[in-house]
Amino acid sequence: MTDTDLDSLLDRMTLEEQVSLLSGEDIWSLPAIPRLNIGKLRVTDGPNGARGSGSLVGGVTAAAFPVGIAIGATWDPELAREIGAAIAEEVKSKGAHVSLAPTVNIHRSVTNGRNFECYSEDPELAAQLTAGYVTGLQSGGVAATVKHFAGNESEIERTTINSEIPERALREIYLRPFEAAVKEAGTWAVMSSYNKLNGTYTAENYWLLTEVLRDDWGFDGVVMSDWFGSRTTAPTVNAGLDLEMPGPTRDRGPQLIAAVEAGEVSRETIRERARNILRLMARTGALHDDRPFEERANDRPDDRALIRRAGAEGTVLLKNEGVLPLAEAPGTVAVIGPNAKVAQIMGGGSAQLNPHYRVSPWDGLVERLGADVLTYAKGCDNHRWEPLIEGGLTIDYFDSTDWTGPAVHSETMEQSVAFLAPPYGGGKVDPRAFTARVTGSFTAEADGPHRFGLHAAGYGRLYVDGALVVDAEEGAWAKGRTFFEEGNDEVTGTVDLAAGQTVQVTVEVRPKTPDNLDVTAFRFGVSRPLGDADIAEAVRIAGEAETAILFVGRSGEWDTEGSDLDGIELPGRQAELVEAVLAANPNAVIVLQTGGPVEMPWIGRARAVLQAWYPGQEAGNAIVDVLFGDAEPGGRLPQTFPVRVQDNPTWSQDPEVYPGLDGKVRYEEGVFIGQRHYDRHGITPLFPFGHGLSYTSFALSDLSAEASDEGSATARLTVTNTGDRAGSTVVQLYVGDPDASVPRPVRELKGFAKVRLDAGASAAVEIALPPRAFAFYDVTTGAWMVEEGRFTLEAGLSATDLPLRTELELGGRTLPR
């Protein structure tokens, strides 16, 4: 649809109709305008799939793809494009037109709870993967919504924090993936973040949304708020925020019409915002989409194969002293750890979905080897919250504030967790003045104390056989880091149970006034805490087995939206378990599943370590493919792993730097983030950015570089597979400006290439370097500057493994923004 067509449609619309398009009708859609045959635009959460219109729990099943950091570890923009294209089909299967993805914020710290959802600490790697994913998604006619724009690199007080970021750091680091999404991939939508940026909420930040996004970069799509992230009427509209989500509107509708009539917002501004919405609807086919709304669960074989391949491509072989790949017949195998029989396939928060299925490492090993050769011991726990009660649960809603009167609506629950969404209680209760009671049972499998836990965005109490065990009611409830910072931290209580004993569990909940996000939710569970005997059992089977594989790490309870980590140690007694198992079987393989770095005090004793992240629904199969060498461990680290949390770029004695103080977080490190920080301070990381081993070996040679008259350059080198099997590696090219007039990193990643070669084969690799590869952002002139002089080019296989070096002489020039 041309601008002329859009103008014609806008001319036929009343002011009220134009304004109606600038806010959601409900959580997931915009209102239709039947008079003009304008359809309903629908959106769905991403980025590792398409959940559809259901809540964060349950709903229509969907394909679960690898999370962002796992895609980042592939270093493969073409694979990101394939994933984006496949997810476009998933979005359409959920009746939606827009995917709220990808998440492209930078890994500033090692403790950000949402690092799992983002690609990298490095702006260039993140930019190229972003462009690939967005291109793939939009090739299927589905809009990408690149988020969160900008400065949302922590989950602490994220809805109100003021991110103070110098403009040079913004331009060179934090805005770079967004710029690539606009300029290189032509993204159709951008989502503003919750936080303030340099003193102004991003949803009403004219400099960010208009001067940078539209004027500098030429963006012509829709800017939407994060959910409940719009706080004002005229300021957001005038700044460039097209769409307030979700609906029903809080800030627009009649208020916006009144603002127009009062002269606070011009009619031309309303027209431009509505034009952007109509353009998005035309691009996605929503403008005249009158098909009945339908959500389907399409479990496609092609998706299964892609997810399994992508999982292996993102798996990083951190260390290998001749242990991997495992022999085709490995003998008896001890399978150990809290992540062995649980498929850790995704992180937590709005990225989670109801997968078609989950393949655990145990499942994958049984499929390959048969159960007869396997033994299992959990060893210890790693959960953050008590495990859910599964099945046999009923929730009753009461149209009262004290659980009195008959239940007006009842539902069954598959698990003891719920995000309650309107219409509450089947539309029979007031969202702010109702109560609910959940009843179910739990049967103990062993004697001993059992710990019950409850947390809620709301108030609640948990009873066991009628006795109060957990009190999270008003007065006892305290704001914590659950349910997007609207919930309390888990409160627990202990009950002694005998094996086989069944108890009645009752939880009573009621809503509370939200602080920022209008969420009512609860979660409760129970477990028997593990102890020394459980670690001893793991040690026993490890010592008796010919092969031991230990599956440890975190889960979406730890790596989640709404909550940063306290540190990067393995939760619970997992480090102790690793040490004990390695003492019993020194050849034990350690498989990590986390959404970011972890400390490894045991690394000197481990001979084989794999980092598998959260690779989607085929997790167990992808991991087993790599363990046995059916697939290459194709991943390279997209984030530096420090020896200890104190080594990471945001560690400071000043809490304003991180986690923030008095509503402000100061990005004091500027452009020295990620590997640039470790280079600058001479800190040796545990594993450097870009690190990853192969099952073969590679040599690089013959680096040369040639500059053009236009200021670009081309680097060339040769890669040879010097091993005895086919494999892949990632050639990385770093640029340095040793004579710069401003502080610049020792080296910056400016190009890379994933190379696959047969044994003994060689390939010529060419990496193009545009003028921006040599530039810094000059805040005094507001332009990108290349200074005349000498530049270094280093090539290698990680940020600390750079055997090749050459130099270029370039003339100075000013580049456009």
The catalytic site residues sit at 226
Rounded Cα gap, residues 171 and 62, in angstroms: 36
| The two structure tokens encoding residue 462 | 């948990």
Rounded Cα gap, residues 149 and 336, in angstroms: 41
DSSP 796-815: ESBTTB--EEEEEEE--EEE
The backbone torsions φ and ψ at residue 282, rounded to the nearest 5 degrees and listed phi first, read: -65, -40
In sequence order, what are the residues at sequence separation of 6 or more whose Cβ sits closer than 8 angstroms to the Cβ of residue 715? 703, 704, 705, 733, 751, 766, 767, 769, 793, 795, 806
| The two structure tokens encoding residue 317 | 């072989």
Question: Using an 8 Å Cβ cutoff, are 153 and 759 in contact?
Answer: no
Rounded Cα gap, residues 679 and 692, in angstroms: 19
| The two structure tokens encoding residue 373 | 């050769």
In sequence order, what are the residues at sequence separation of 6 or more whose Cβ sits closer than 8 angstroms to the Cβ of residue 569? 575, 598, 599
Closest CA to 700 of 745, 736, 734: 734
Determine the 3-state secondary structure of 637 from DSSP: coil
Determine the 3-state secondary structure of 786 from DSSP: strand
Buried b (16+ CB within 10 A) or exposed e, 475-514: eebeebbbbbbbbbebbbbebebeeeeebebbbbbbbbeb
- Bridge partners for 795 per DSSP: 733, 804
Determine the 3-state secondary structure of 481 from DSSP: strand
The three-point CA angle 211-175-138 to 5° equals 90
Rounded Cα gap, residues 111 and 571, in angstroms: 13
Rounded Cα gap, residues 460 and 477, in angstroms: 8
Cβ count near 50 (within 10 Å): 29
Question: Using an 8 Å Cβ cutoff, are 310 and 630 in contact?
Answer: no
In sequence order, what are the residues at sequence separation of 6 or more whose Cβ sits closer than 8 angstroms to the Cβ of residue 541? 334, 336, 375, 376, 377, 548
In sequence order, what are the residues at sequence separation of 6 or more whose Cβ sits closer than 8 angstroms to the Cβ of residue 470? 452, 453, 454, 460, 461, 462, 491, 492, 493, 524
